[in-house]
Structure 1
Amino acid sequence: MKKIQDNLYQITIPTPFAVGDVHIYLLDAPVPTLVDVGPNTDLAEEIVQTELAKVGLSISAIEQVVLTHHHPDHSGLLDRFPSSTTVIAHQDGGRWLLHSEEFLLHHDSFFEQLLKQVGLPTIPPKAIERFRQPLVVACTRAIDLSIEEGDRLPGLPEWEVLGTPGHAEGHITLIHSTSRVALGGDVLLSHISSNPLVEPPFEIGGQRHKPILQYNNSLKKLHKEALSAVWSGHGDVVSNPSELIKLRLTKQHERAMAVLTYLQETKEPQTLFSICKWLFPLAYKREFGLTLSETLAQLDYLEAEQLVSSTIEENGWVYYRCREGVSVG
């Protein structure tokens, strides 16, 4: 356990995911609060109990849990908290926490349709199961109290909520009003860029969200907050938030421009899958979902900038091409 400032502690927990360890945060206040909880594993439970005991607490003594976002490495351990613990999160993440049968059917249908459009010669066996795989260490828990941008945490009015979607729908960041320290979840990581993950729309048959556009907007909002530090869900503390935010936005634009150059040089319309293989020639085989999301993000960005266009051909595949008159430079 690492002390950050008065009554604020960081606890580090291993996860079964490629991202590695996850950090959760204890607000040791009259209303004992955890910000995120870790994955639903025996090891995570053991570590959380051990670390809380160092300050005279236990899982059962935590009165409320605030989630920065719904991903299982941050929320899964909720299944091991008593029903008396108040779960606080943005409502947009609620469907992922409960993952009802209705939602899972919607989830699978969305990704089945997406895979039919990306340009795969054949859809790999168990492809949909791979998109569901993170739910193995997820929870099944409802949100008790929904919060949104501008709210302050119950019993902790010095902590204000900023909406920062993009990496996940409903992602929030908590900002301490005096120190300007932020608990950022996965919105800004010191060592890697945060992947804007594609998610099913809220309504069946609805339009897919463009997480890269949400994410870029979230970074710009963070930049305006004049933060002193961001304590993230993974990696080291970000001690120079403004500089890193500018770097992340610049690098994302450069990555998108590289895709635009590729489309110009190939002189042929390309599918999402062909671009994904070019961007991630090795990684796409072991992290197909993540690399697909990252590739789609660049194309969504280029379309929003009116630099590329997309069309659905007779075979059902979506093809991307440079808009007429567009040049890189």
Structure 2
Amino acid sequence: MSIIPSILECLTVPTPFNVGPIHIFWLKGEDGWTLVDTGPKTSDALSGIERFMQTHKFGFEDIARIVLTHQHVDHSGLAAVIAEKSGASILAHEGAVPYIERDSAFMNWHHEFFHRLYRENGVPEEMLSTVERFQEMMDMYADPAFVHGTLADGDELPGHPGWKVVYTPGHTQNHIALYCEEDGLMLSGDFLIQEISSNAFIEPALTREEERPKPLLVYRDTLCRIASMPIQRMLSAHGSEINDPKGLIQLRLQRQEERATRIAALLEEGPLTAFELSARLFPKVYKKEMPLTFSETLGHLDLLERTERVQRIVCDGIVRYQCQNK
């Protein structure tokens, strides 16, 4: 008999972001409730959580732990507030810790990394303020929160026998999902969303000594790995339930190849920077959504490089890409 209906609840709260509302999940376990993601630090999200608890007749003190699928503020923003009210522990992947705790040394490195990366890939100086706006957005929609413990691939979720942690990097390099094999059900966070493709965001490595992660390549590898699992359905953090995960994964992989092919065609005209390509691919939004469109473009250039369809050329500190046969 399935154990899911008796212990799993979903709450949808609004966010101020283009992605729309977020689903946060509640698991009732052996020692209380586990909250999977929290929503952003807004009064609407907190009110929604408080109303949910009133409806289900429990309080903050009954929350045993908060599990964060990744560090983005629509998922982690209220973690500090709820932990303070409840005494709950906060758990996340180790790679998310410096973001969630807002480690000052890491955040300085984060900003330095993006200033350099954007400059060398042709982003105009007047658009580099995007880096500072990222910090402002984090400060507005999330408080720094202490992470009490980390979760790794294959770990059993504390308090919930039968639930396992699955490491699902790509959207971020610290993304995790939760999987109940008995029911073939995954709480997939932003790993896979029915209505929209999950952007594989460019991020710095955790230390200056490591090479830049290539998130789209990592994401594609993760998609293939997850497609091999006997997952029957996914409950994402956004949008509707996914009832054919394997089919959706194949569609996402195909669309990525199609975009890569389109970029290769644009490079037939001559060498271009990642920023110039993003302007051609996303002419209506590349300025307003620069970090997103830049990540999307550079990720596909990484894919084209791996398959030896394009090559990098560097002149005067600026990176451009050209077709391999040029």
Q: TM-score, normalised by structure 1?
A: 0.93
Q: Which moved more, 1:64-73 or 1:76-85?
A: 76-85
Question: How far 1:139 sits from its partner (Å)?
Answer: 2.7
Alignment of 1:308 onto 2:283: no
* Deviation digits for residues 248-302 of structure 1 (CA, Å, limit 9, x no counterpart): 11111111111111112x1x11111110001100011211111111111110111
What is the distance in 1 between the residues matched to 2:59 and 2:231?
Answer: 31
In the alignment, residue 81 of structure 1 is paired with which amino acid?
I
* Deviation digits for residues 216-255 of structure 1 (CA, Å, limit 9, x no counterpart): 1111111111211100010011111111011011111111
Question: How far 1:142 sits from its partner (Å)?
Answer: 2.1
* Deviation digits for residues 128-154 of structure 1 (CA, Å, limit 9, x no counterpart): 223334302123112211111111101
1:125–1:161 distance in 2 versus 1, CA, 3 Å:
closer
Q: Percent identity?
A: 35
Question: How far 1:101 sits from its partner (Å)?
Answer: 2.0
Q: What SS class does the counterpart of residue 184 from structure 1 fall into?
A: strand
Alignment of 1:137 onto 2:138: no
Question: How far 1:312 sits from its partner (Å)?
Answer: 1.9
1:149–1:250 distance in 2 versus 1, CA, 3 Å:
same
What is the distance in 2 between the residues matched to 1:94 and 1:301?
Answer: 28
* Alignment-derived partner of residue 191 in structure 1: 195
Equivalent positions of 1:48-197 (< 5 A) are 48-83=49-84, 84-124=87-127, 126-135=129-138, 136-197=140-201
Given that 2:122 and 2:275 are in contact with CA atoms closer than 8 Å, whether structure 1 keeps it comes out as: yes
* Deviation digits for residues 157-212 of structure 1 (CA, Å, limit 9, x no counterpart): 21111110010121011111200110000000000000000111111253110000
Q: What SS class does the counterpart of residue 286 from structure 1 fall into?
A: coil
Given that 1:72 and 1:139 are in contact with CA atoms closer than 8 Å, whether structure 2 keeps it comes out as: no
Given that 1:131 and 1:289 are in contact with CA atoms closer than 8 Å, whether structure 2 keeps it comes out as: no
Q: In structure 1, list runs of 5 or more residues that go unmatched.
A: none
What is the distance in 1 between the residues matched to 2:222 and 2:242?
Answer: 16
Alignment of 1:284 onto 2:293: no
Q: What SS class does the counterpart of residue 310 from structure 1 fall into?
A: strand
What is the distance in 1 between the residues matched to 2:278 and 2:128?
Answer: 19
Given that 1:91 and 1:143 are in contact with CA atoms closer than 8 Å, whether structure 2 keeps it comes out as: no
In the alignment, residue 179 of structure 2 is paired with which amino acid?
I
Question: How far 1:59 sits from its partner (Å)?
Answer: 2.8
What RMSD over aligned residues (CA atoms) do the two structures have, in Å? 1.4
Q: TM-score, normalised by structure 2?
A: 0.94
* Deviation digits for residues 70-106 of structure 1 (CA, Å, limit 9, x no counterpart): 1110011012123421111110110110112212211
Alignment of 1:236 onto 2:237: no
1:87–1:121 distance in 2 versus 1, CA, 3 Å:
closer
Given that 1:189 and 1:235 are in contact with CA atoms closer than 8 Å, whether structure 2 keeps it comes out as: yes
Question: How far 1:125 sits from its partner (Å)?
Answer: 6.1
What is the distance in 1 between the residues matched to 2:124 and 2:55?
Answer: 55
* Alignment-derived partner of residue 211 in structure 2: 207
Question: How far 1:54 sits from its partner (Å)?
Answer: 1.4
* Alignment-derived partner of residue 34 in structure 1: 35
Q: What SS class does the counterpart of residue 287 from structure 2 fall into?
A: helix
* Alignment-derived partner of residue 251 in structure 1: 255
What is the distance in 1 between the residues matched to 2:28 and 2:109?
Answer: 39
Given that 2:82 and 2:88 are in contact with CA atoms closer than 8 Å, whether structure 1 keeps it comes out as: yes
Question: How far 1:121 sits from its partner (Å)?
Answer: 4.1
* Alignment-derived partner of residue 275 in structure 2: 273
In the alignment, residue 297 of structure 2 is paired with which amino acid?
T
Q: Which moved more, 1:70-79 or 1:201-210?
A: 201-210
